[in-house]
Every structure is written in C-alpha cells, then in structure tokens.
C-alpha cells in the first residue's frame, strides 16, 4: 500500500471539497458525507456523527464553561462542532484545507471566522487560543508531518488551555495515518508541557466489527434483503454503542478522543 505524501494530501482535500460538499442539505444538513465516511449512506454517517458529537460534548463538560473563550478548530470541515461551540458562547476560528467548504461555512455560520490554513503551519501568534480542538484531522496528516502539526497546536494554545483531539487508532490507508492510543499520547506528552485529563473511545460498533453488519463499502451491490438487514442492525447498534464504553476497553474502538491541558509554556524553559 502506498500512502500519500503531504503535497498529495493537500491536493486530495481540494478535490474532496469539490466532490463531497455538493450534497443534499435537506437530507444531510451537517454535511456528514464530507466529514465522516465519504460516499456512505446518510443513515450510516448519521450514526457515526451522532456518537462523535456525544463524545465531544462529554469532553467539553470536563472543561466547563467556554463562554467568551477563544477556540481554534483545526480541520473544521462542515462546521458541525463550530456550531456547538458558538452555541456555548465561544469565539471560534475554524481552519481547513477544503476551499469550497470554507466559503460555504462563512455564509452558513457568519458569527465564526473561517480560514484556509494547514494544521502544519498555523498562522497565529503563540498562546492565542484558550482551546484547540481537532476531530479526525491529525489522522490524515502523513507520519513525517504529524509532529509538526502537534507542535503548532501546542504553540498556539495558552498556558492552562485545553486541547481536544479525536483520532483513528486502528485503520491505515492511502490517506489515513493512524497511531496507537499510546503513540497519540506520546506525541503530545513528550515535552512534558501538557497533561492528559480524559480519554474516551468512539465508534465501537461491535456488530460491524464482528462482521454481522455488512461492509458499507459494498453498498452499491446491496440487495433489498441485505439493505433491510443492515438498517435493522444499525438500529440495534444505537443502544449497544451507548453501553460499549462500560464493557469494552477504549482500545476496541476505531477512534479515541483525548483531552489535554497545557500546564506550561513551551518557551518557559528558555525564559
């Protein structure tokens, strides 16, 4: 398997933006076809999007009140988490590599700022933001560039500020560069300037993991019988997914979400 390099990933996101932001907003108002599993049925992506949002809300509960906090969303996608934070009273800046998405977000969410910008080159002064959040973004940055992106996140978050990430811990593909939970933590904790406050699993989906649920990637060949079976299995998966964190290890999930707190300035050792 050949994985894309950073330049190829930049081109990938430009093409992705054009292809997957032209969706039916009456059926997919959150643009999940763009930010979850592109090309998958909307009912499947709604399931994934619902539980992603649930996990992010849990981490914000740990942080507490974010009213008037300056938040940077790295890889804001279609703005679903932007709206969550705006509704909580935060001042949000979203950056992304999808130009079409950025333009639509500016019209759809005018009380946030959206910029075309890479996670590996964040054009803000150090310690600008109280919170930095990045959901399934670092996993799409090639391994040789991930540490650079994380250093940029660490640089722009304030001392005593918070970092939320949710990243793939299982799958590797041409555009997916996952790490083990331990490796994601190591990348943030290696300079001893942050501490971890919480770690949650996301997308356990045991019916799919055990092959009871047919692969979403065969959707075009589904018969009516297979379609009905999968819709039933997905309906059963909602209550099961709620219970999974109580009975399954976080490492069983496809994604893990982390909440870090920056406990000292990166430049404090040089002051």
For residue range 81-97, list pLDDT tens digits in order. Answer: 999 999 999 999 999 99
> For 214, left (φ over 0), alpha (ψ -120 to 50), or beta?
beta
Q: What is the mean pLDDT of the chain?
A: 90
Q: Say which range, 36-45, 142-151, 206-215, has the weakest mean pLDDT.
A: 206-215
Residue 34 to residue 13: CA distance in whole angstroms: 10
254 with 202: CB under 8 angstroms?
A: yes
Winning range, highest mean pLDDT, from 7-21, 119-133, 187-201, 227-241: 119-133
Q: Is the pLDDT of residue 211 over 80?
A: no
The stretch 105-115 carries a mean pLDDT of 96
pLDDT confidence bin for 227, thresholds 50/70/90: confident
Q: What dihedral do alpha carbons 102, 217, 54, 231 form, nearest 10°?
A: 130
The stretch 114-135 carries a mean pLDDT of 97
Phi then psi dihedrals of residue 44, to 5 deg: -75, -45
CA distances from 194 to 168, 260, 263 (A): 21, 6, 5
Residue 24: the pLDDT is 65
Q: Is 149 helix (H, G, I), strand (E, B) or coil?
A: helix
Q: Is the pLDDT of residue 104 over 80?
A: yes
Q: Is 84 helix (H, G, I), strand (E, B) or coil?
A: helix
Winning range, highest mean pLDDT, from 68-82, 197-211, 222-236, 256-270: 68-82
Q: Is 73 helix (H, G, I), strand (E, B) or coil?
A: strand
């Amino acid at each position: 398997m050949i994985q894309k390099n950073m330049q190829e990933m930049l081109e990938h996101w430009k093409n992705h933006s054009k292809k997957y932001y032209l969706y039916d907003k009456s059926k997919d108002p959150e643009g999940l076809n763009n930010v979850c599993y592109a090309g998958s049925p909307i009912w499947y992506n709604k399931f994934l999007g619902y539980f992603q949002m649930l996990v992010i809300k849990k981490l914000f509960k740990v942080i507490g009140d974010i009213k008037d906090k300056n938040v940077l969303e790295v890889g804001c996608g279609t703005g679903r988490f932007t709206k969550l934070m705006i509704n909580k009273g935060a001042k949000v800046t979203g950056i992304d590599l999808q130009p079409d998405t950025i333009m639509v977000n500016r019209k759809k969410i005018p009380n946030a700022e959206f910029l075309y910008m890479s996670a590996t080159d964040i054009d803000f002064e150090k310690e600008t933001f109280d919170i930095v959040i990045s959901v399934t973004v670092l996993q799409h940055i090639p391994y040789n560039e991930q540490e650079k992106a994380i250093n940029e996140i660490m640089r722009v978050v304030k001392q005593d500020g918070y970092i939320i990430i949710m990243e793939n811990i299982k799958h590797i593909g041409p555009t997916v560069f996952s790490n083990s939970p331990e490796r994601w933590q190591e990348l943030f904790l290696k300079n001893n300037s942050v501490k971890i406050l919480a770690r949650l699993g996301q997308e356990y989906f045991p019916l799919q993991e055990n092959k009871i649920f047919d692969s979403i990637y065969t959707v075009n060949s589904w018969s009516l019988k297979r379609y009905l079976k999968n819709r039933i299995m997905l309906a059963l998966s909602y209550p099961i997914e709620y219970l999974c964190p109580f009975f399954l290890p976080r490492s069983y999930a496809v994604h893990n979400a982390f909440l870090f707190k920056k406990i000292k300035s990166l430049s404090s050792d040089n002051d």
